[in-house]
Structure 1
Amino acid sequence: MKAAIYTKYGSPEVIQIIDVEVPSPQPNEILVKIKASSVTRADTMMRQGIPKFGRLFVGLFKPKNTALGTGFSGVVESVGDQVTKFKIGDEVFGEKLFSNGCNAEYLCIAENLVVARKPKNMSHIEAAPICDGFLTSYNFLKDIANVKPGQRVLINGASGSLGTAAVQLAKIMGAKVTGVCSIKNIDFVLSLGADEVIDYTKTNVNQLQSQYDVVYDTVGKLNYKMTKNVLTTDGVFMTPVLSCQVLWQMLWNPKKVKFAATGIKKTKELKRLFLELVDFFKQGKLQTNIDKKYSLSEIREAHQYLETGRKVGNIVVVNP
């Protein structure tokens, strides 16, 4: 089978497409023929090895895990003899972290991990990126910020994968949502349910007159110092993008500054959030927005496009 890997840090040119054997499922695993997989900003950061202090954990001089891609959707092709939740032919989707990668043609995953049957009202392309955008944003809004009806939430990077998810989720949770994005995406973010949208090229967040219970910076462009004037007394600044500045602010003011790596939560907690999201999608309360689709052989181009910063919604790799 074909799989995308990178064996050194660098530009998209370090990505290789290699031939490897189709994996065989362990007794508790299913073998999935991947129909679509996600490509995310986190993937590009891992490939670049940034922030550099993160290399202490993922490989100082070269990556420990050379695989790419975490979100997937596909069809069960075979099952281990202990599998009880899935059968051959089931359409499934989910996320597998720290593995042999989802930007590939096949993947083995244990049935008790973050995997479920794909809702019938979604395509594989729509399902593949759910865990990258929606699962992360749901963790921040529900488990970290504990957003309540009537609260004011400001979402920076509202037109990206995490941002489009956050706008929709915050509205489901009853919040009043302000999105921040470029002027060309204002109508799009309003269509997702945002109550108001700010063009970041014309208005600085720290100059806003309103105050917010939550500032969720999905793209790592802000920090607590830049937003503390617009936070309520009990308000929190949170981001999934760690920088030295955010780390320092979090150490000094842990009640006001929140960072989390959603992928390292306990599997039980991740699956709880994931299954709640599945129900939302089944009910038609959420939608995935796809910006561009690439073939596996075009994954370098997908990474190049991600680095332009012009992505709106999600990018997906599609297999035949």
Structure 2
Amino acid sequence: MTTSVGEKSTQGRTQMRAVVAGAYGSPDVLHVDEVAKPVPDDDEVLVRVRAAVVGPPDSAAREGSPFPIRFFSGLRRPNGIPGDVFAGEIEAVGQDVVQFAPGDAVFGTTAPGSGAHAEYLCLPENGAVTIMPSNLTYDEAAAVCDGGLTAMAFVKDHAHVQAGDSVLINGASGSVGTAAVQLATEFGATVTGVCSTAKVEFVRSLGAETVIDYTRTDFTTTGATYDVIFDAVGKRSYPECKASLTTGGRYLTTVPSVGILLRMVWTRVVGDRRAIFAATGLSSKRTKRSHLVALRDLVERGQFRPVIDRTYSLDDIADAHRYVDVGHKTGSVVVTMD
């Protein structure tokens, strides 16, 4: 195994600091403890994590709700280190690794697995990891992964947004929403964002041509129609949005439910409008890696920017969860390991 010559003080360590939880529940179940530092297999890289993210999926995993989450995280209690989005540097590589070298600055995701809320993690060389944008900090790179990967999957792969489409994004100021506004604009769509009063000008600055303040106007009552309605926060159902879709329009949501799964099946065979949900974390490693590369290219060309609301230290992980649980963040909440 080849190891980095930098930061020699970390090389002999067999322990690392990581977030753990002994039960499902409120942010109070989270604490930082010393656990075994992972060792990469022959085809793996060891990443020294510099920044990670806390978002609604992390809150759901912490609570073990909805219940199907527990099939991944543990039926009775969490069985691993939380977090999936990360940015950091390669500290060591397995003997068969050829794509990365110690010292490489990388970003990516362990989804559908976890382990990013820790000082170190291992993942396969062919996993959802690649060289991060050269013009970003680790915090910013983690934020790009946060909403960017989900938004890219929905906007590009499932909504097939293209030039000339009219796209409405509900929850346009969140991590997924801010990314979706930028991506849909980049793809040539005319974008309408929906957010609260205080964030109207911010969403417009991301590229939205029209911004609707949901505290004053219900977009489903305006009579306007859209080729795509992307509910990035899971607040408006397909039945509520159906009349606001054009013929052949697509409704997408990030939040799973029995209702949306049934409507996905139904709208495939009946009617001229589609309801779509996708578990983006279950996308193939190759797909996620290609999205990371695309996001990196957009960032380096100045056509996509990360949005960070707040930054917390690893020791303040419970406070980060409390803030996310309020449900009004703008962009991403980043957790730093240093």
2: CA distance, partners of 1:206 / 1:307: 26
Q: Is 1:141 aligned to residue 159 of structure 2?
A: no
Q: Is 1:9 aligned to residue 24 of structure 2?
A: yes
1:264 to 282, 300, 313: 282
Q: What pairs with 1:12-91 in structure 2 (closer than 5 Å)?
A: 12-55=27-70, 58-63=73-78, 65-91=79-105
1: CA distance, partners of 2:155 / 2:112: 24
2:277 maps to a residue whose letter is F
- The structural deviation recorded for 1:56 is 5.3
Number of residues paired by the alignment?
A: 319
2:37 maps to a residue whose letter is V
2:106 is aligned to 92
TM-score (norm 1): 0.95
1:258 maps to a residue whose letter is I
2: CA distance, partners of 1:176 / 1:198: 14
Structure 1 runs not aligned, ≥5 long: none
1:155 maps to a residue whose letter is I
Q: Deviations over 1:69-124 (max 9, x none)?
A: 11111111111111111111111111112445101111112111111112210110
2:22 maps to a residue whose letter is T
- The structural deviation recorded for 1:54 is 4.3
Q: Is 1:206 aligned to residue 214 of structure 2?
A: no
Per the alignment, do residues 73 and 58 of structure 1 end up closer, same or farther by CA in structure 2, a change over 3 Å counting?
closer
2:285 maps to a residue whose letter is T
Structural RMSD (CA): 1.5
Q: Is the 8 A contact 2:144 2:305 kept in 1?
A: no
1:178 is aligned to 192
SS in 1 for 2:304: coil
Q: Is the 8 A contact 1:215 1:236 kept in 2?
A: yes
Per the alignment, do residues 60 and 76 of structure 1 end up closer, same or farther by CA in structure 2, a change over 3 Å counting?
closer
Q: What pairs with 1:84-233 in structure 2 (closer than 5 Å)?
A: 84-99=98-113, 101-233=115-247
Identity %: 44
2: CA distance, partners of 1:293 / 1:143: 31
1: CA distance, partners of 2:257 / 2:293: 31
SS in 2 for 1:253: helix
2: CA distance, partners of 1:263 / 1:94: 12
2:7 is aligned to none
1:291 is aligned to 309
- The structural deviation recorded for 1:55 is 3.9
Moved more, 90-99 or 242-251: 242-251
2: CA distance, partners of 1:310 / 1:264: 26
1: CA distance, partners of 2:308 / 2:228: 26
Moved more, 216-225 or 275-284: 275-284
